[in-house]
Structure 1
């Protein structure tokens, strides 16, 4: 049986205690070495769930455990060696070069006030090459397109060498070729042992990439299980509130809407 890397146990959380919580009694178990998609419309609570995993938000009640240890028992440095995030976007106030920015992913491994070593620079550059943007290493990050910045954020997360990689709407700024590149990279990471949890509102991405899918709406987990069993006409029509059809071509399932 595949062990659980991450668990939510009766987690309750909200942004305002005078209003209904976003999550109320949330239970989840994330299997090690698999790709899991959190699928749902905008406002479903997908990003909030990722921020709880990172420890950026604290639950009102319940427990979140990584490798059977509560998240709050990890130091920020130790948590950074286990978990990294590819965000939807990120404001960059300084004129870093691309390589300097990706090197920030090595921070959890550096001593206080320590400078990156040659090994750190090699890991960062190799992450850029994996993302297909090695030629941008000396460019200012402020001159990049939205898609290029997204790939740099992904490279920084890879440079962190996480056990658990979180992605928040990872393809939102990517063109088709970079979407395909990211899907192939994530598959390779999974095959090398990285566990991946990604939020998305794109059923097509869940079908193309994930082993398991969690369906969410308005802070509730409606159901979860193997992706092929979760991404169905009935489930998608329910969470998106529009008629959704699934069609098959070349033995693969695709999504259509009316």
Structure 2
């Protein structure tokens, strides 16, 4: 029993080469937090993880970070998750995809003093591109039936408007998993995180077979996501990337971490946020 447990890791924070060596040695990992890469192809998941059935079935979380130059479009391709084919990781429950840049993006923003209408139009166009990106990611993850939380980080990402509900249309897909409950959008340029509850048509009691599929994102209070430690103390993760995930992957199936739920924007703890 001891030897079997020794071959299992709850969390591995390491380069993909190290992870590959461990898997070849018979180790299985639930939660991978890979060291940054310039392109997702460097992870070579299709060579050492997907083909190894026991290792692939053990995975419940991937945390992938692409870091490159701002003009390199491979970062945005990493967010679309096309490299995670259907059935490759059958128990994937949580997915964190981040794109960072070595240097600031060159901006085409309207110069100070120019027409405010042009600036507003540019902002709206940027938000529309973000919505399109989120829709594309959701569509590409359609067949990951156990996925419950998706986190996206874009270096140019701006906060979505602070409305209580947002609507996103996902083209050519009517099978978004009912298990997908939470979407997190992080804007690193201003260090701001938005969290949403995903409401599919079936959950809202509406027709689910229309094309495109309409997904409603219900805005969660900003403080949702603050964790409560074993002493009952309100805490925010300080270690880099630790706050990317909201599930405990030492259990199977993974269980949500204990978090604070604030109701009606009142600064008081009302209980646990249970997923």
Question: TM-score w.r.t. structure 1 length?
Answer: 0.32
Greater relative contact order structure (CA < 8 Å, 6+ sep): 1
Instruction: From the two aligned structures, give the one with the greater helix fraction.
Output: 1
User: Which has more radius of gyration?
Assistant: 2
Question: TM-score w.r.t. structure 2 length?
Answer: 0.31
